[in-house]
Amino acid sequence: MTTKPAAAAARATVYGYPRQGQDRELKKAIEGYWKGRVDADALRATAADLRRTNWHQLAEAGIDEVPTGDFSYYDHVLDTTVMVGAIPERHREAVAADPLAGYFAMARGTQEVAPLEMTKWFDTNYHYLVPELGPETEFVADSAKQVAELREALALGLTARPVLVGPVTYLLLAKPAPGVAADFEPLTLLDRLLPVYAQVLADLRAAGAEWVQVDEPALVQDRTPAELNAAGRAYRDLGCLTDRPKLLVASYFDRLGDALPVLAKARVEGLALDFTDAAAGNLDALAAVGGLPGKRLVAGVVSGRNIWVNDLGASLATLGTLLGLADRVDVAASCSLLHVPLDASVERDIEPQILRWLAFARQKTAEVVTLARGLRHGTDAVSAELAANRADLASRATSPITRDPAVRARAAAVTDADARRSQTYPERTAAQRAHLGLPLLPTTTIGSFPQTGELRTARAALRAGRIDTAGYEERVKAEIQEVVSFQEKTGIDVLVHGEPERNDMVQYFAEQLTGYLATRHGWVQSYGTRYVRPPVLAGDISRPEPMTVRWTTYAQSLTDRPVKGMLTGPVTMLAWSFVRDDQPLGETARQVALALRDEVNDLEAAGTSVIQVDEPALRETLPLRAADRPGYLAWATEAFRLTTAGVRPDTQIHTHMCYAEFGDIVQAIDDLDADVISLEAARSHMQVARELAAHGYPREAGPGVYDIHSPRVPSTEEAAQLLRTGLAAIPAKRLWVNPDCGLKTRGWPETRSSLENLVTAARRVRAEL
């Protein structure tokens, strides 16, 4: 073993850094440009400043090799679309006329042209713009952005490594362009795409790149032998090029599995692998293929996705093992730091002791640097850092925040019976019918009503101390009155209070649950200029007092019709937060579920007969590898049942999910044992109803008949027609009538007309039964 020289060369690097800047300067500049307040040159200057600041920050922290090309005005997959010249036909003119304006048109659409579709980047909450390809697609290399950003970094005297989305991942993430057969496989374009990558690589080398990183995260998903073959071919062809930089093929988010031997054999000079728990199995698999003799291994040992301080001792042990498996081992975060906030040290509302448990991008960078130093010079060289880290980990492990004996005892005592309702679904339905007395095709909404200007002003005033809590609550009550009276007047059967008190469906609950932390500056890019501040599941979760009961009961006091209680489900509470890494997700979910269960039971005790528990994230949290899915679905569905199973048989439990494709989880949805589910369906013409029927889904369902994603008002006949389509799949006694999703992003005028039409449509179709 040549551990000494390998260790002596160890470098610190990362694959990408948050783009927005300390005060989200990028968001402000881009949105200013959209509004015409910032000109293109000023936007470019802000962007160049931010890149420079980031590189300096990385270099000053001790990062030996900085990434370039990871910066983006909107999305790095869209940047790749530009790099390979795959601009959709409908956008070509605009891009040719003004590349920057055309770029944003692809991202956001214009009055005349639709944008590219947006979807989630693997199992993160980052969204990318889906490439649209077809048999006619011709690629042309445009390496300008990559080359320019590399030159900027080199001009600062830094060692820089461009980062590209790899050709295989790019094609696997693409979809058939509009008008192209749905079964067209973009991967068949690989041979046409590789010469473009060859050109970009040659250009980067000419500009001074010694190494280029090519990201292939799609290879951590289950792949067919044909897809793995394609990956092998891609890196054989790129490997054989003579005029190219050294290639580092990177993967992250999960284990490489069958793709590992393919990449290990490829003629590239290095691999970057994820060695965090998310990718457990990579280390053994790497040993099993005999390591990477002659290659550089970049070891992602610091999670790039969670916000917890690293266990430096454990990481050094992993790195030590890896030293024997490659020619040279470098240290990195497991994926781009894009997925975490920038800097934990600016948080002021988090107790200093707890703040020490957290690591955002800057802190993670420091960890990577420490680990590289430890690898180079031995643990003695970093003994102070290791000691401080051990103290932080110990404080976290023993803190009353992470160990609340009452919460733990309760979770440990959960039995099967707790997660099972006292009667089966068919038995319950009779009791609910008698109790609620609803008509056939009952009408309802998903929960939120338009968040009005007055409400937003009141919330801002409360934050700024211009009004007190009582003043704010008066505003909330006024909104509830308005929402309830509108629904009564319109003739909706199951009412909601409209959720005016909620800023966000996860944050609102997180703020009231013990064990959750909120950050003040913890912004993470969701898509484009949209940034979110996910709360942190930091400790054991409990509910000190009811969270929603008084608003729901207030709404109920205004009407004789049933008002539906409205909660966010445990899986979604996890999915849109930073989760604990010190216990299985299922345990955290169970704690959240028990806290929500108390809320559900309190709602029922306060007279609420219908309670909706939203789980829009159930499907998006599905693990990347099929083998991991049954385990996930088991705890996820148990958590939902635990939340809802404590109610009487005649209390009706609803759930809501907003996605149209869920064919692969119908069984899991059934396992939730909810009484009624509402789903997005308007845009797919009730496809959802047919899928439910095809899978024999036995429960009541409300496939949406009103697309709330646009201000367009559906006509009565249009909604009626969708209902008739729904009736062809779901019998009348199990069909509900509702919009696709909540109305909080809509304005009142279109909401009013749309819901009036929806109720009239229900009446019309009822009369036809």
Catalytic residue numbers, as ranges: 709
Question: Of 69, 270, 649, 742, which lies in the binding site for ligand GLN, with binding defined by CB under 6 A?
Answer: 742
Residue at 354: amino acid letter: I
The minimum distance between CB 97 and Zn ion, in angstroms, equals 38
| Reduced 3-state DSSP string for 21-58 | CCCCHHHHHHHHHHCCCCCHHHHHHHHHHHHHHHHHHH
Pairing verdict, β 175-176 and 160-165: unpaired
Q: Which does 744 bind (CB under 5 to 8 A by kind): ligand GLN, Zn ion, none?
A: ligand GLN
Tokens of 717: 């006949």
CB nearer to ligand GLN: pick between 304 and 447:
447
- Alpha-carbon gap, residue 391 to 396, rounded angstroms: 9
640 with 672: CB under 8 angstroms?
A: yes
Chain residues 442-481 in contact with ligand GLN, contact rule CB under 6 A: 446-448
The minimum distance between CB 513 and ligand GLN, in angstroms, equals 18
Question: Of 47, 84, 589, 658, which lies in the binding site for ligand GLN, with binding defined by CB under 6 A?
Answer: 658
Q: Which does 615 bind (CB under 5 to 8 A by kind): Zn ion, ligand GLN, none?
A: none
x/- binding map, residues 689-728, to Zn ion, per CB under 5 A? ----------------------------------------
CB nearer to ligand GLN: pick between 133 and 566:
566
Residues 652, 599, 431: CA angle, nearest 5 degrees: 20
Annotated binding site for 5-methyltetrahydropteroyltri-L-glutamate: 24-27, 120, 125, 576, 620
Question: Of 614, 638, 740, 750, which lies in the binding site for ligand GLN, with binding defined by CB under 6 A?
Answer: 614
What is the DSSP code string of 94-118? HHHH-HHHHHHHHHH--SSS----E
Is position 741 an interface residue for Zn ion (rule: CB under 5 A)?
Answer: yes
87-104 burial, b at 16+ Cβ within 10 Å, e below that, comes to bbebbeebbeeeeeebbb
Is position 498 an interface residue for ligand GLN (rule: CB under 6 A)?
Answer: no
Q: Which stretch binds Zn ion (CB under 5 A): 382-390, 462-470, 510-518, 740-748?
A: 740-748
Question: Of 616, 703, 704, 726, which lies in the binding site for ligand GLN, with binding defined by CB under 6 A?
Answer: 616
Is position 43 an interface residue for Zn ion (rule: CB under 5 A)?
Answer: no
CB nearer to ligand GLN: pick between 367 and 680:
680
What's the first-to-final CA gap in the chain, in angstroms? 79
- Alpha-carbon gap, residue 130 to 409, rounded angstroms: 46
Q: Which does 505 bind (CB under 5 to 8 A by kind): Zn ion, ligand GLN, none?
A: ligand GLN
Count each helix (H run) and each strand (E run) in the chain, helices first.
29, 21
Q: In terms of Cα–Cα distance, which of 622, 627, 626, 619 is closest to 662?
A: 619
Q: In terms of Cα–Cα distance, which of 624, 658, 508 is closest to 577?
A: 508
Cα 144 versus chain centre, distance: 30
CB nearer to ligand GLN: pick between 121 and 576:
576
Chain residues 263-322 in contact with Zn ion, contact rule CB under 5 A: none
- SS3 (DSSP) at 653: strand
x/- binding map, residues 649-688, to Zn ion, per CB under 5 A? ---------x------------------------------
Question: Of 641, 690, 744, 746, which lies in the binding site for ligand GLN, with binding defined by CB under 6 A?
Answer: 744
Find all residues with CB under 8 Å of 254, minimum gap 6, and list them.
220, 221, 274, 278, 279, 623, 624, 625
Question: Of 375, 741, 762, 765, which lies in the binding site for ligand GLN, with binding defined by CB under 6 A?
Answer: 741
Q: In terms of Cα–Cα distance, which of 508, 569, 513 is closest to 539?
A: 513
Interface with ligand GLN (CB under 6 A): 446-448, 499, 505, 566, 614, 616, 656, 658, 741-742, 744
Interface with Zn ion (CB under 5 A): 616, 658, 741
